[in-house]
Each structure stands twice: as structure tokens, then as C-alpha cells.
Amino acid sequence: MALAPEILDRPSAEGARIVAMALISEACERAVRIGDPGDEEALHDFRVSVRRLRSTLRAWRDVLGRAVRDKDLDRLRKIARATADARDAEVLVAWIDRTAKDLRAAHRPAATWLAREHARRTRGVDLAATGERFVAACAPLSRRLKRRRRPRNTEAFAAAVAARVRDQAARVASRLSRVETLADAPHAHRARIEEKRLRYLLEPLRDVPGVGAEHAVTALRRLQDLLGALNDAVLALEAVGAARREAGHGDRGRRLRPGLVALELHAASRAAAAFARVRAEVLPRRGSALLEPALAVAGTLEARAARRA
């Protein structure tokens, strides 16, 4: 998305409207791809676009007014949920396939069984139909956003972005302050969600000269990667542990248990290593090293808005 620098000086409603319409266009293009089984990145790209759009509409709903309705957000939430299990299974199966190569030959049948069980969960998901529902849901939303309305206030888009960036950065730091041990992974996951919302505020400004958003987005991507690796590792550990318990004590359980225990040890080691990276790079000063570039962008935008006031 290439945002013209002068948009920063326009009313916040106009800037938010332009960003939202660009995100709808991008997401609709990606929705068409998810029905293609040969496109391995289609589902991931589509889910990212839906998240960006949902986050943007929530962040700017107060200035977009009647153009965004509860029904719009509800439809987008349901579409995001419809693809969540498929994406989680995709990530887990990929990890199982990689890890199986390091298992003893006698333990690999358990990995094959577990991968097959999770792959089966995605078979009933009609991704092409989900993409079609998304395009249909966005049509009325797009029409409403295209109608120019008199802005409710004259606050510059730059100042409005800055205020939201500072508020969202504080939310990320607050969540990170609750993370002390691996048992606090749910708080780390929530911090990751808040980080994404912060990054989505900044991404439209990446190509705007003199703002510094590109550096901030890069830092936030590093934060997302670290927290995402931890979340994936914890989900894998939970999935393997659940499978070991569900295998039972019959013939199947006796056959699979050694392999599942071996997988669980791999998952536990992976989770511990991921948390160690988070503890070293993120937790000191509540992630301020990775959040400071975003706050610097907020300061730059506030100075711009003050000069043009």
C-alpha cells in the first residue's frame, strides 16, 4: 500500500477511509487464491489480510462512523474463525513432518498418525467458499466507505495515528509485563495479538518519507516472530500431550505411546528454547527495545501535526 504523504495532513476520517478501502481490495485479491490447492501461502496471506482489515476497522471505527457496522465486524470475525483451525493444523503438521526425521524409526509411526489426525480436521473446510463469503461481505462495506462524508472532527490523520500508536504500544507493554515463565505463554500470545494491531497501524506509513515507519515495522516483526515461535511451540506441546492421553491404554495406545512421548520431549525442548529467546530479547524493560521505534514514529507524526496546526 502506497500512502501519499499529504494524507497525513488530511482529516483522520479521510486517511482511515483510504487505508480501509486499500485493505479490502488487497484481501479480496487474496480471497480468490485460497481455493487453489497448489498455492501453499494462500491461506496464510488471506488470514493476514483479514486480520489487517479487522484491526483497521476497529481502530478507526470512531471516525469512520456509520460506514462500519456491527454486522460487518461480525461477518469478518466468523470468516477469520472459519480458517483458524485449518491454519493451526497446517502449522502443526509441518512441524511434525520436520521433527519425524529426527525420531527413531520405531517412533515415526506415531508422528505419521498424529499428522494424519490433524490433517483430517481441515478436510471439511471449504476454503474457496470462505473466500467467496468474504468478498460478498465486503461489497456493502466497500460501497459505504466510498461515500465521502463530512468529517466529524478536523484532527489530522497524523495526530490520530500517533495517539493510537502510543495507546497500542502501552497495551503491548502491559501484556509483556505479565510474562515471567513459560507458564505465562497465554499472556505472551495476547501480547502478540496487541503487537499485530500496533504494526497494522504503522504498515500503511512504511513508504512515507521522513516518518520512520519501515524501521518500526521491522522491529515489530521481530517481536512477532519471537512471540509467534513461542506460541507455535506451546500449541504443539499441548497437541502432542493431548494425543498421548487420547491414545488410551489399548493396543493402539501401547503402539503409539513411545513415539508420542518422544514427540512430546521434542516439543517441550522447542518450547523451552523459544521462551529463552523471548526472555532474552523481549522481556527486559517490557519489550521497550522493540517498541521504541514505533514510539519514535508517534513523536514524528505529532511534530508534523503541530507544525501544520
- DSSP symbol at 150: -
The pLDDT of residue 172: 97
3-state secondary structure 218-277: HHHHHHHHHHHHHHHHHHHHHHHHHHHHHCCCCHHHHHHHHHHHHHHHHHHHHHHHHHHH
Q: What residues pair up with 156 in beta bridges, in sequence order? A: 11
The packing angle between helices 12-33 and 127-146, to 10°, is 160
Q: What residues pair up with 11 in beta bridges, in sequence order? A: 156
Per-residue pLDDT of the chain (309 residues; tens, 9 = 90+): 668 889 999 999 999 999 999 999 999 999 989 878 788 888 889 999 999 999 999 999 999 999 999 999 999 999 998 888 888 888 999 999 999 999 999 999 999 999 998 887 666 567 788 899 999 999 999 999 998 676 666 799 999 999 999 999 999 999 999 999 999 999 999 999 999 999 999 999 999 999 999 999 999 999 999 999 999 999 999 999 999 888 777 777 788 999 999 999 999 999 999 999 999 999 988 888 899 999 999 999 999 999 987
Show the cell assigned to 61: 471505527
> How far, rounded to the nearest angstrom, does the alpha carbon of residue 17 sit from its chain's CA centroid?
22
Show the cell assigned to 184: 505465562
The pLDDT of residue 125: 65
Q: What is the dihedral of CA 128, 131, 132, 135, to 10 degrees?
A: -160
Sign of torsion over alpha carbons 222, 226, 229, 235: negative
> How far, rounded to the nearest angstrom, does the alpha carbon of residue 120 sit from its chain's CA centroid?
24
Its pTM stands at: 0.91
What Å distances lie between residue 168 and 55, 63, 162, 184, CA to CA?
Answer: 12, 17, 10, 21
The pLDDT of residue 102: 93
Taking the C-alpha atoms of residue 226 and residue 276, their distance in angstroms, rounded to an integer, is 10
The pLDDT of residue 123: 62
The packing angle between helices 12-33 and 42-59, to 10°, is 160
Taking the C-alpha atoms of residue 158 and residue 15, their distance in angstroms, rounded to an integer, is 9
Q: Identify the structural domains of the chain with CATH numbers, from first to last.
A: 11-84+123-148 (1.20.120), 155-309 (1.40.20.10)
Which SS3 state, helix, strand or coil, does residue 125 take?
Answer: coil
Nearest to 8 by CA among 178, 184, 191, 213: 213
Q: Are 224 and 196 in contact (CB under 8 A)?
A: yes
The pLDDT of residue 117: 87
Nearest to 167 by CA among 65, 59, 62, 64: 59
Which SS3 state, helix, strand or coil, does residue 195 take?
Answer: helix
Taking the C-alpha atoms of residue 229 and residue 234, their distance in angstroms, rounded to an integer, is 9
Residue carrying C-alpha cell 521481530? 222
Q: What one-letter code names the amino acid at 52?
A: R
